[in-house]
A and B are shown apart, each in its own frame.
Chain A
Amino acid sequence: MENLNLVLPEIFISLSIMFLLVLGVFKKDSSKIIFNFSLFAILITTTITINETFSITRETLFNESVVIDRMSSLMKIITLVGGFLVLIISSSYLKTFKIYNMEYPTLILSSILGMMVMISSNDLIVFYMGLELQSLALYVLATYNRDQLKSSEAGLKYFVLSALSSGLLLYGCSLIYGFSGSTNFDIISNQLNSDEYVLTFGIVFILVGLAFKISAVPFHMWAPDVYEGSPTTVTLFFTIVPKIAALTVFIRFLYVPFLNLIDQWQMIIVFLSIASMIFGAVAAIGQTNIKRLIAYSSISHIGYTLAGLATVSNEGIQSSIIYISIYVVMNLALFSCLLMLRRKDQYYEEIDDLSGLSKNHPLLSLCLLVILFSLAGIPPLAGFFAKFYVFKAVLEQSMYFLAIVGLLSTVVAAFYYLRIIKIIYFDKEKEKYDSDHSLWLKFSLASSTILILLYFIFPSQLIEVVSRINII
């Protein structure tokens, strides 16, 4: 008998989704209850995940097709917390657009379920199932504001491109299956060896598909459009939660089935990383819409995360995970600020709308200042440490070129972050924005900003948690 306790979080969250669907059908005006219930469900799932799996080093289930290890449990917790926070700060935005419906939390829960399956997958089929579950939910979420043309367009674009990348991924999976005769990661790892040249195609297809999902250059084209068109809260969800799951899968693929083929993929990852860092930094300079700018900045941040993965060392993987965790906090804070730019039921998302914000909203501007300098990687803020760990791992492997290119592109990136700060602090002020924000929004902004600001006092804790993850 399998130890089903290990997949209790997934079981619980699936049951909650089904229950919510039934509730939504039979009860009228149920959106508020369903919102609260889904928050509650995520909380319980998080607790279960911590209780049941956090102490487990490595165990497999269902013919070794599902793996519970330290990485999967940590990443699940980050995913769940991220999802929880997104949901909690969404409601006032959704109410403004009159799309405060029961589907929203249900879809978010289902995509989280898909991500949890992805994170735990140790088998090509399980992985693909999880991926599709999260993708389908995300397509719908992108078009969620269906009365707006932009939102529908974003959803369609996302659907077409993502389906294409899923196709590539599937093709890669079938090639790998053909060579190894199994869909199980551990067995593939033993069967594959670098003599088979066609195998490189399989790896490339899979990496391309995954690069699509995390929007690494040159497979990033969908990100700016989708980020701009989707409702802001959904964009927030896009920028943080699926990235965590995709990164985990990336790590899993590279370091379990493809571990013996390092020569084949290391250059690809280095290329993806360098291209993303440079492109993300350069392309963001010309943007005028904050959400598009965030899209490009998230592309360059993904570049740094990949730099950690390219090192083929445990330190590298750990630094990537630290990077993505800090990145989640920074993005959450940034979007909380963005959601506060509201005036008479209208949200503002052009960079020029921030003009002179510091005169009328000194506290909000101060938060933005901290967040933007942190995103730019200026010490002593958290964003600096994220980069610092990555480059420490990169330099351990003597990959000087990667490190120097990465650090130089931080200077380019600093330019556009500075430009926003300039607009906030040095330019003429505009009309005041509303200041009656929901308590949760204020809470999430305050707590994440304080975390970014004071991270330097206790940097060891995060490292301690992450350093338990040893993949290789």
Chain B
Amino acid sequence: MNFPILTSLILLPTIGALFLFFTNNKEEKNLTIKYVALFTSIVNFLISIYLWISFDRSISSFQFIEDRTWIEGFINYKVGVDGISILFIILTTFITPLCIISVNNSVKNRLRDFLIAILIMESFMIGVFCALDLVVFYLFFEAGLIPMFLIIGIWGGSRRVYSAFKFFLYTLLGSVLMLVAIISIYWISGTTDVVQLYEIGIDVKYQNLLWLAFFSSFAVKTPMWPVHTWLPDAHVEAPTAGSVLLAAILLKMAGYGFIRFSLGLFPVASELFTPLIYVLSVIAIIFTSLIALMQEDMKKLIAYSSVAHMGFVTLGIFTLQQQGIEGSIIQMISHGLVSAALFLTVGVVYDRMHSRLISTYGGLVSVIPKYSILFMIFALASLGLPGTSGFIGEFLILMGAFKDNFLVAVIASIGVILGAAYMLWLYKRVVFGKLINEDLKKILDLNRSEYFILSCLAAPILFFGFYPDPLINTIEVSVADLINMHNTNIASK
């Protein structure tokens, strides 16, 4: 057995958190505490980069598999990665250190506890993307609720209790049906091992119900219209680092789940329910884009834009075309970077002005030019301008959609225009125009750490916008294999 690299990826943040737990919780120790957390997460990032480098792109099967007996004769602790999951792991390990750097200004009290929650969250999120057993997946998927509930509830804004409860109960309600489905799969097929389930398949007569049960969980988490209402609340109230984790990674769990489980395990049902997904996705894209246009709160606007972008993702996944799925994955990665960046840019001005209302701002470009430039990059990436990673994702998704269903693709394209409308309008109202608010004249430009975080995010957005090959390279074979498997399954049924 080789070195258990995935398990160490999962465990390392928790070990870091344990270490923090035993350090002295004094104000003057804050810097040390932060360095410990930062060190842990950066080491984790380096390990995941090593994982990416040593990952063999030419084979589609799972790699770095660890398989241990966990509950005798029932569940194995099985983890492994393929081209799809590895990107999400890197996204997680990349975003977490940035979150930790960003807590400087936004988290005032109980810094140690906050960092512990973030690190434990990281463990669970990496676990979700590595798990190759349905029960293990469910465990990580659900466990993430605990730290996120605390992050929103303890360090959140004024309506934090309401938002934390809504977040927790919505997601839990969605997930319990998935648990029923997972146990049923065990009794139907005799295993919950995803790799084995791919091979033996699941009896067609159960697939529809099982698909719906998984869907109920992923739809809430994605979130799809009409169960998206928890997201704006959670985003608005969560502290900046919490919003970043939520938007960048938590939402991606569901998209990943759709690809890995809904498509992989229930091919027949996926085919059957594609119209449902199309309708919900298109509604999400158009409807939430329109809502975003109306928002006066910046964070809320970005939250609604997340719902619209995730609408593209679900649309792309269920085109069941190579381009569509690849586009969805790239869109998720890109949205992970862009939405994280946007929440951080909002966080920057919020820390200074303590207001998220668009009307507070205006004319920022004349006082804080560095900030305005970076904000522009992220706004343009969000609306999918060529040359940014957002473009690659949306373009591939629409290409896949045109192949599959012309009408849906046309309507979704309107969403792209609406996306440009609300993003540019937001940018115009915040950055351009006359400097009316007197307080804004004293506002400071980005400090070193903020500048560093935002540049860290801008670099991959632009890099993958011009040269998406490293991403596509990694996922190509896995996606092709997934579609192959899907088609053979459909043909044989």
Give A residues with C-beta under 8 Å from B: 362, 373, 378-380, 384, 388, 391-392, 395-396, 398, 400, 403-404, 407-408, 410-411, 414-415, 418, 421-422, 425-426, 456, 459-460, 463-464
Contacts and interface: CB of A to CB of B under 8 A. Distances in A.
A284 to B, nearest CB: 15
Interface residues of B, number: 33
B187 A395 contact: yes
Given A362-B25, A395-B183, A396-B187, 10 more contacts: A378-B142, A378-B145, A379-B139, A391-B180, A400-B184, A407-B179, A408-B173, A410-B172, A411-B173, A418-B168
B462 interface: no
A378 B143 CA distance: 7
Nearest to A393: B183
Contacts of A421: 149, 153
B176 interface: yes
B346 to A, nearest CB: 23
Top 3 nearest A-B pairs by Cβ distance?
A407-B176, A379-B139, A460-B72
A400 to B, nearest CB: 7
A426 B176 contact: no
A411 B172 contact: yes
B282 to A, nearest CB: 30
Contact of A400 (B154, B164, B180): B180
A378 B183 CA distance: 16
Contacts of A404: 177, 180
Contact of A379 (B138, B165, B187): B138
A92 to B, nearest CB: 28
Interface of B: 25, 69-72, 113, 135, 138-139, 142-143, 145-146, 149-150, 153-154, 160-161, 164-165, 168-169, 172-173, 176-177, 179-180, 183-184, 186-187
A395 B146 contact: no
Contact of B176 (A410, A418, A460): A410
A410 B142 CA distance: 13
A456 B177 CA distance: 22
Contacts of A380: 139, 143
B179 A426 contact: no
A404 to B, nearest CB: 6
Contacts of B139: 379-380, 384, 456
14 contacts: A362-B25, A379-B139, A384-B139, A392-B186, A400-B180, A403-B183, A410-B172, A411-B172, A415-B169, A421-B149, A422-B165, A425-B150, A426-B164, A460-B72
A426 B153 contact: yes
A362 B161 CA distance: 20
Nearest to B155: A426
A395 B180 contact: yes
Contact of B149 (A400, A415, A418): A418
B177 A418 contact: no
Contacts of B149: 418, 421
Nearest to A395: B183
Given A379-B143, A463-B72, A411 B186 contact: no
Given A391-B179, A404-B180, A414-B168, A378 B153 contact: no
A408 B183 CA distance: 15
B184 A414 contact: no
A222 B233 CA distance: 41
